[in-house]
Structure 1
Amino acid sequence: MADPSTYRPSPGTIPDAPGVYKFREPGGRVIYVGKAKSLRSRLNSYFADVAVLHPRTRQMVTTAGSVEWTVVATEVEALQLEYNWIKEFDPRFNVRYRDDKSYPVLAVTLPDEYPRLHVYRGPRRKGVRYFGPYAHAWAIRETLDLLLRVFPARTCSSGVFKRHGQIGRPCLLGYIGKCSAPCVGRVSADEHRDIVEDFCDFLAGKTDHMMKRLEKEMIAASADLEFERAARLRDDLAALRRAMEKQAVVLGDGTDADVVAFAHDELEASVQVFHVRGGRVRGQRGWVIEKISDKIGQDDTAGLVDQFLIQFYGDQAELADDKTSGDDSPVPREVLVPALPDDADAMADLLSELRGSRVALRVPQRGDKRALMETLERNAKEAFQLHKLRRAGDLTARSAALQELQDALGLDTAPLRIECIDISHIQGSDVVASLVVFEDGLARKSEYRRFAIKEAATEGDVASIAEVVRRRFHRYLQETREEPRAGIDPETGRPRKFAYPPNLLVVDGAGPQANAAADVLAEMGIQDVAVIGLAKRLEEVWLPADPEPTILSRTSEGLYLLQRVRDEAHRFAIAYHRQKRSKRMTTSALDGIPGLGQSRKAALLKHFGSLKRLRQATVDDISGVPGIGAHTAALVHSALAAQTDNATGDSHDRGA
């Protein structure tokens, strides 16, 4: 644990000006980014008595080894730079408002040639339009089922879409009128996109125009004695009305606003957001985050609002289409919050810049908007209580697990960074390895790595583990040998792939595997990384050179953490092994055919979709693939036919 006084800037060196500051670990990695109206006042507050600091702030300043700052001209520039640095460096002590993966949304894949409507969970992708979140996936499917009769857009996966295009017949939805069947050319790409855009306009709140247009078409069809078409339009109108009834009207004046509310204690906070468009609640989002209070002298809620607005709307604007602005912008005309941050004017200016028109940032005082805020605050409190019940003891359990490992393994410090290596293969073929990383007892998936075993592929698991350890730590020495900050990429400022060593290296196996890893580290002169092996059979912990294993209690939090790390490494290794094996088995049938390289193999498989369909193709079909000539097509056809004949002959022999 570092003493903040060892890296405190000299008196008078910190400017009394607005700016953005970064705290770094001794190894150079950025662990916290903040902004301030006065850098001098804010930074001096971190170097007060450590005992009076917020718990997370105290942990941050004692983990850091240096602080640096950048002066800017205005508070808006400080907001923008803070957001950019948080996104670039992903500091571990900054709050990150990532979408709760438990909330499903309705996604529209606008970048595709034929956009798809589907239920989606996960991180947002640029260009894709999202509606929701919804409370349940079935609510999306119910709404989608109602709207597909009016907007018959594609809902199938890429594989299903391609397969029906190849066989020339639409799926069931195409036959019953709930898909326009672009896969078989019933509509063109432009016509299908028009259908999807009408669907998006309806869900975005532009319902009056759509309803009036359908009513006019229905009346016109009835007047022209086209009664079947009029009945169809009547049913379409009824479906749209039922879909609209599912979205409650909360504000009668057509308000376009986001309402934000918080519930929090000293360490954590729950935030809930209602997205109100056209007076209707179009979606709701929620997060529970760990707090770090660098807003010295500010109200906690105001500080949370400040952090939330820049990160949430910055991310939303970045993911939206570059041309999106005005009513289609993810930033609404009005943002209602429980408390205004100190830099409220600068924040409103930045939100207006993201939207392309003026955005009002205010606290509702009375009327319907105040009542909606109170409803949302109750939701936030209930979500916070549920989170506490569900996660009670989680932080304590992780801390206890790390402390137990430190005591049981005789480590100098708790293993805050754990790495685990696992080997995967089938009888020595397609040998691969995984390396997973856990920090503070939680998986850090952005730092996972995978290895294709080279030299030791035929020598067994022990030699494979030695190879992976050697390759991983060779990269570490390369990236950190020259200077202490060599682990930081000078162009991006982000840590390089292997810039930070683990406190504890876990290998899947017993004594031989642990000894192999420890021997490699000793050869390379690395002495500050502890090594253990975790054997699956009895969950024994093996220390290098120890003849007997260390047995941890079956109820031990430390053992449970090691099992989770090992199981995650095993999962990651198996996934990579299956990927390599599948690729090899798919392309092996085409190996050895003259004139057929890797790119042509890939082109054939992409065109026909599978090896089975390629075997069924004629020479003319094969020669129709770009880059495949008639001579090569004939060779491919004859080679696959010979393989099929051989396989048939073998099966007859076995039957005989």
Structure 2
Amino acid sequence: MADPATYRPAPGSIPDAPGVYRFRDELGRVIYVGKAKSLRSRLSSYFADLAGLHPRTQQMVTTAAGVDWTVVSTEVEALQLEYSWIKEFDPRFNVKYRDDKSYPWLAITRSEEFPRVMVGRGAKRKGVRYFGPYSHAWAIRETVDLLLRVFPMRSCSKGVFNRSKQIGRPCLLGYIGKCSAPCVGRVTPEEHREIVDDFCSFMAGNTTTYIKRLEREMKAAAAEQEYERAARLRDDIDALRKALDKNAVVLGDATDADVIALADDPLEVGVQIFSVRGGRVRGRRGWVADKTDDAGVGELVERALVTLYDGEQADGIPREVLVPVLPEDATTIAEWLGERRGGRVAVRVPQRGDKRALMETVERNATQALTLHKTKRASDLTTRTRALEEVQKALDLPEAPLRIECFDVSNLQGTEVVASMVVFEDGLPRKGEYRRFVIRGVEGQNDVAAMHETITRRFRRYLDERAALSEPEIGSDGEAEGPQLVDPDTGKPRKFAYAPGLVVVDGGPPQVAAAARAMRELGVDDIPLCGLAKRLEEVWLPDEEDPVILPRTSEGLYLLQRVRDEAHRFAITHHRGRRSRTMVESALDDVPGLGEVRRKSLMKRFGSLKKLRAASADEIAQVPGFGPRTAQAVVDALAAPQPSAAPAINTTTGEILEEDT
């Protein structure tokens, strides 16, 4: 690795101006591209004390062997040049959004004598009007099929049109009334263009006019006893309404906007974009990308915007872009979009109303897309096998860890300390073997001591059950068999008797040291141990000063992260359940004659303090052991103001847990 001091630019040589910079490795390859309002200030930060830099930034500056820059006149130019260089050089340390899909549009070739409606992809062309984008081509075809009976414009290819014109006979759509058959002269070019104009006007959002006009014509036909024509008009109205149902109104002010939302974890980010035109959702697109650095949400939003609108035609950029968090250079992004569109573009975060509700919907879609991606990734046998092999190689294990156990600790300001144990076998969770621990031998907020007790209890059970199975059983043939991991009294497996291939603790060196000490005290020295620190995703081994750094795209790191996150979730679930019961008991301390048994009856019946507070005296009186007077006393006690409680904290991550009430 290179020392950044060997290629640091000379003092005063870096200009104090906007620009774009490139770090290169010893082979001259560009490994990182960035932009800055002040090149001098930004580049100087990379050559500060290495200990103060983020580990991934440290890796970048020590991998690089040189840096150069280009000065530009404005921040907008810097943004454009930065993205051009990222696309050109594909730097390994930049966040990469890979969106190789081409999203379809509903296109109308207005420049032709007889305009055609079709599915369009790729770059937009002059003389063609576009609606969308849509998430799928079949969605366009369904919409067009419904509308052609009302607006029978041409939808055939040029070859089909010319052949029908030569033989003087229309195609099937002409016979069934879904084309006005301009190929055989049933309508003039002017009449056909009127149909096209009506179709475009309807797609642009002017829907009420046509539906009301058809309703008037239907009523007039019925009054004149032209029932067949009235029935056709009725069917046309139904077709229009079905087409409208496929593009439901979400913004009543007919806004043109793109709504962008993100869902991320330390390794990946899911992006979803809803395109709203005329107040209706016209299309949806999205992708999942690897996170190759420690970029925050604001920077991820900026990258998504540049990726989405680079190369976009002016009419494809809406007047408003809604984002979950404003990027740091929101003004620059808005100016860049405004220049591309040829008009003002607002980039903002919706706070309330329909737009906020739509943003929440898009956020849910982003979360579901990321979850689905992770599920598919985890369920693939080849991927799981590669992940286990990578963990084995990275931790120098004698064999792949087919059984992984992970432990996590949560507490509420030193009270209600709990721990969790989750089990993954062959890369998949075995929820039937999860275990929960209530930590009672630890005073105060000491998650290191809590981890020591948890590991001690788990492996003491392991040793006890292995000792109980030390005598071989005699088989039916009279031969001695190996010890069976089954309780002879219950016939159930002795699950604590299984030795894990790897023990993972949620935390860094202190938690790993505590777990290692507990295992040494019990004489367990043949089971590998590691810790996964959440903030930097570093893997710590016992008695090692430096962590093991797995590549960000490593399937092994992804597996360890899933195991750690599952242990974290399971610990929080256990903690919240105990906290809810504790809050009920605390709230009912002043109720006379209410002992522990009846408190447990209340918790068993209502489940949480929130549901108990919502219950009436009559509902509480139905619980065994409660009369009307005691039930009313419970209602009065819960109605009294309660002192605010300290927030629940996961001591390993510092995460504040949400209240259940």
- Could you state the TM-score of these two structures normalised by the residue count of structure 1? 0.50
Counterpart residue identity of residue 363, structure 1: V
Shift in alpha-carbon separation, 1:61–1:176, aligned structure 2, 3 A: farther
Query: How big is the shift at 1:138?
Result: 4.1
1:309 aligns to 2:295 (yes or no):
no
Q: Can you list the C-alpha shifts for 1:410-461, whole angstroms capped at 9, x where unaligned?
A: xxxxxxxxxxxxxxxxxxxxxxxxxxxxxxxxxxxxxxxxxxxxxxxxxxxx
Structure 1 residues 19, 145: CA separation in 2 closer, same or farther (over 3 Å shift)? same
2:34 maps to which residue?
34
Alpha carbons of structure 1 residues 206 and 352: separation in structure 2 relative to 1, 3 Å: farther
Shift of 1:147: 0.7
Residues in 2 aligned to 1:335 and 1:41: alpha-carbon distance in whole angstroms:
30
Cα distance in 1 for residues equivalent to 2:384 and 2:159 = 43
Aligned equivalent of 1:337:
323
After superposition, residues 328-367 of structure 1 pair within 5 angstroms as 329-367=315-353
Runs of at least 5 residues in structure 2 that lack an aligned partner in the other structure: 394-554, 556-661
Alpha-carbon distance in 1 for matches of 2:100, 2:174: 34
| Residue correspondence of structure 1 range 190-201 to structure 2 within 5 A | 192=192, 195-201=195-201
Once the two structures are superposed, residues 378-412 of structure 1 have per-residue CA deviations (whole angstroms, 9 ceiling, x without a partner) of: 111110111122234869959989xx9xxxxxxxx
Offset at residue 210 of structure 1 (A) = 4.2
Tell me the alpha carbon deviations over residues 436-488 of structure 1, each in whole angstroms, 9 at most, x when there is no partner. xxxxxxxxxxxxxxxxxxxxxxxxxxxxxxxxxxxxxxxxxxxxxxxxxxxxx
* CA distance in 1: counterparts of 2:301 and 2:307, whole angstroms: 10
Q: How does 1:484-633 map to 2 (within 5 A)?
A: none
1:71 matched residue in structure 2:
71
TM-superposed deviation, 1:303: 0.6
Deviations 1:484-519 (A, max 9, x none): xxxxxxxxxxxxxxxxxxxxxxxxxxxxxxxxxxxx
SS at match of 1:315: coil
* SS of corresponding position for 2:242: helix
Query: CA, structure 1 residues 183+18, in 2 after alignment: closer, same or farther (shift >3 Å)?
Result: same
Post-superposition CA distance 1:27-54 (Å, at most 9, x none): 6665543321222233344456779877
| Distance (whole Å) between structure 2 residues aligned to residue 21 and residue 285 of structure 1 | 31
**Aligned equivalents of 1:370, 1:191: Cα separation in 2:** 44
Query: Which one of 366, 370, 373 corresponds to residue 387 of structure 1?
Result: 373
- Over 3 Å counting, the alpha-carbon distance change for 1:233 and 1:47 in structure 2 is farther
Asked whether 1:377 is paired with 2:373, we answer no
Shift of the 44–338 alpha-carbon distance from structure 1 to 2, 3 Å rule, reads: same
1:251-270 correspondence runs (5 A): 251-270=251-270
Give 1:307's aligned amino acid.
R
Amino acid at match of 1:290: D
What's the offset of the Cα at 1:273? 1.4
Deviation at 1:253, TM superposition (A): 3.2
Deviation at 1:249, TM superposition (A): 2.5
Matching of residues 308-327 of structure 1 within 5 Å? 308-317=304-313, 320=314
Map of 2:140 onto structure 1: 140
* Residue 272 of structure 1, CA deviation: 0.9
Q: 2: distance between equivalents of 1:110 and 1:34? A: 43
> In 1, Cα distance between the equivalents of 2:14 and 2:281?
47
Structure 2 CA distance, aligned partners of 1:262 and 1:347?
Answer: 18
The CA deviation at 1:221 is 7.8
Contact kept in structure 2, 1:56 and 1:291, CA below 8 Å: no
Cα shift readout 1:335-355 (whole Å, capped 9, x = no counterpart): 221111122222223333333
- Partners of 2:114 and 2:146 in 1: how far apart? 21
CA change 1:387–1:86 in 2 (3 A) is same
Deviates more, 1:378-387 or 1:166-175: 166-175
1:149-228 superposed matches below 5 A: 149-187=149-187, 192=192, 195-211=195-211
Amino acid at match of 1:171: C
**Deviation digits for residues 250-288 of structure 1 (CA, Å, limit 9, x no counterpart):** 233333322211011223211111222333222211111
Distance 2:182 2:56 in 1: 54
Q: Is the 8 A contact 1:100 1:287 kept in 2?
A: no
1:368 maps to which of 350, 354, 375:
354
How far, CA to CA, are the matches of 2:385 and 2:124 in structure 1? 35
- Range that drifts further, 219-228 or 15-24: 219-228
CA distance in 1, matches of 2:267, 2:74: 31
Distance 1:251 1:69, change over 3 A: same
TM-superposition CA deviations, 1:547-581 (whole Å, max 9, x none): xxxxxxxxxx9xxxxxxxxxxxxxxxxxxxxxxxx
Amino acid at match of 2:177: G
Deviation string 1:293-317 (CA, Å, 9 cap, x unpaired) is 476xxxx111111222233223323
Give the Cα–Cα distance (whole angstroms) in 2 for the partners of residues 56 and 202 of structure 1: 52
* Contact 2:98–2:289 (8 Å) recurs in 1: no
Alignment of 1:84-99 (within 5 A): 84-86=84-86, 94-95=94-95, 97=97, 99=99
CA 1:178 to 1:96, structure 2 compared with 1: closer, same or farther past 3 Å? Answer: farther
Q: Tell me the secondary structure at the aligned position of residue 266 of structure 1.
A: coil
Query: Counterpart amino acid of 1:266?
Result: P
Question: What CA distance in whole angstroms lies between the structure 2 residues aligned with 1:64 and 1:204?
Answer: 52
Is the CA contact (8 Å cut-off) linking 1:273 and 1:284 kept in structure 2? yes
> Structure 1 12/253 Cα, relative in aligned 2: closer, same or farther at 3 Å?
same
Match of 1:316, SS state, is: coil
Q: TM-score, normalised by structure 2?
A: 0.50
Code of the residue aligned with 2:305 in structure 1: it is L
Secondary structure in 2 matching 1:283: strand
Cα distance in 1 for residues equivalent to 2:384 and 2:21: 28
Structure 1 range deviating more: 286-295 or 172-181: 286-295
Partner of 1:277: 277
Change (3 A) 1:214 1:331: farther
Q: Structure 2: which amino acid aligns with 1:151?
A: F
* Contact kept? 2:96, 2:291, Cα under 8 Å: no
SS at match of 2:311: helix
Deviation of residue 371 (structure 1)?
2.2
Q: Residues 153 and 192 of structure 1 are in contact (CA less than 8 Å); yes or no, is this contact kept in structure 2?
A: yes
CA distance in structure 1 between the partners assigned to 2:2 and 2:114 by the alignment: 56
Q: Check conservation: 1:97, 1:312, Cα contact below 8 A.
A: no
1:33 alignment partner AA: V
C-alpha separation in 1, matches of 2:187 and 2:98: 38
Distance 2:237 2:375 in 1: 45
Instruction: Structure 1: state its 5+ residue gaps.
Output: 321-328, 405-556, 558-656
Whether the aligned pair in 1 keeps the contact of 2:180 and 2:187 (CA below 8 Å) is yes
Cα distance between partner residues in 1 of 2:2 and 2:210: 64
Corresponding residue number in structure 2 for 1:239: 239
